[in-house]
Amino acid sequence: MRYKVNIKKTDQGYSVWVPSLPGCWSQGKTEEEAIENIKDAIKVYLETVGELSKQEESSYVEVASA
């Protein structure tokens, strides 16, 4: 899957976050390191959401993009 990420240069390096995954963020000393770190953060985020919701009843919907 592909996720849009936002990157911001800071005094300490780079902050990176995923707007579509609230609370999913990371950082790195370089932009490349921040990108690699956010990939790991996304995987952990999705695993955690899956674990927390596996006992819940779920449905899927399809939405056409503009």
Q: Residue ranges of the domains in the chain?
A: 6-53
Query: For 16-57, how does the pLDDT look when each residue is reduced to its tens digit (9 = 90+)?
Result: 999 999 999 999 999 999 999 999 999 999 999 988 888 888
The per-residue pLDDT for 55 is 83
CA 66 to chain centroid, in Å, comes to 22
Which listed CATH number (3.40.50.970, 3.40.225.10, 3.20.20.70, 3.30.160.250) goes with 6-53? Answer: 3.30.160.250
Give yes or no for a contact between 21 and 3, defined as CB atoms under 8 angstroms apart.
Answer: yes
Query: For 5-24, how does the pLDDT look when each residue is reduced to its tens digit (9 = 90+)?
Result: 999 999 999 999 999 999 99
**What does pTM read for this prediction?**
0.82
Query: 5-12: which pairs have CB atoms within 8 A and are 24 or more residues apart?
Result: 5/35, 5/38, 7/31, 7/34, 7/35
pLDDT above 80 for 66: no
Nearest to 41 by CA among 15, 8, 13: 15
